[in-house]
């Protein structure tokens, strides 16, 4: 007994597209959550060898060779750095911290300040440097 129906030989593309979009969304969420990011310190550094102007308002932290730390226009000691930074960030409404360090400051002290910035919850940290003078050829 034949009913006159022919076999259905088309692929249902809708379900394939649904699966592909679902996987895409899962990978986008997983990638932005930090699961695939490198551990350690994240810093926003210029991608070229030329120094660039700051593009976002932020709080500038200056470390001087005599051990003084300036947060914006306020001078503080290492022990007072985190509360001073938090207060300056809230007053300015900033999310970016720029770190300007004298070349004579010990590396360990710079890393200590970077760690305190991260522990205070500020992830956007930029380093300020002067460009090297161009050589005349």
Report how many domains make up the chain: 1
pLDDT at 105: 81
Q: What is the CATH number of the domain that holds 90?
A: 3.30.420.270
Residue 117 covered by a domain = yes
Residue 91 covered by a domain = yes
Both tokens of 3, joined, read 């009913």
Residue 8: half-sphere exposure toward Cβ, Cα within 13 Å: 2
Q: Give residue 77's domain range.
A: 58-128
Residue 118 covered by a domain = yes
Q: What percent of the chain has pLDDT over 70?
A: 72
**Is the pLDDT confidence value at 110 over 80?**
yes
When pLDDT is averaged across residues 120-126 and rounded to a whole number, the result is 88
Residue 75 covered by a domain = yes
CB 88 within 8 Å of CB 38: no
Tokens 């001078």 correspond to 75
């Amino acid at each position: 007994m034949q009913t006159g129906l022919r076999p259905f030989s088309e692929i249902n593309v809708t379900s394939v597209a649904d699966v592909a979009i679902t996987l895409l969304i899962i990978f986008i969420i997983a990638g932005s959550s930090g699961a695939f990011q490198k551990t350690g310190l994240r810093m926003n550094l210029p991608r070229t060898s030329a120094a660039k102007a700051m593009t976002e308002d932020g709080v500038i932290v200056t470390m001087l060779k005599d051990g003084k730390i300036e947060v914006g226009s306020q001078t503080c000691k290492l022990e007072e750095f985190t509360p001073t930074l938090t207060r300056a960030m809230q007053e300015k409404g900033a999310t970016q911290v720029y770190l300007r360090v004298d070349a004579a400051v010990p590396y360990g002290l710079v890393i200590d300040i970077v760690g305190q910035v991260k522990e205070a919850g500020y992830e956007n940290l930029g380093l300020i440097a002067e460009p090297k003078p161009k050589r005349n050829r």
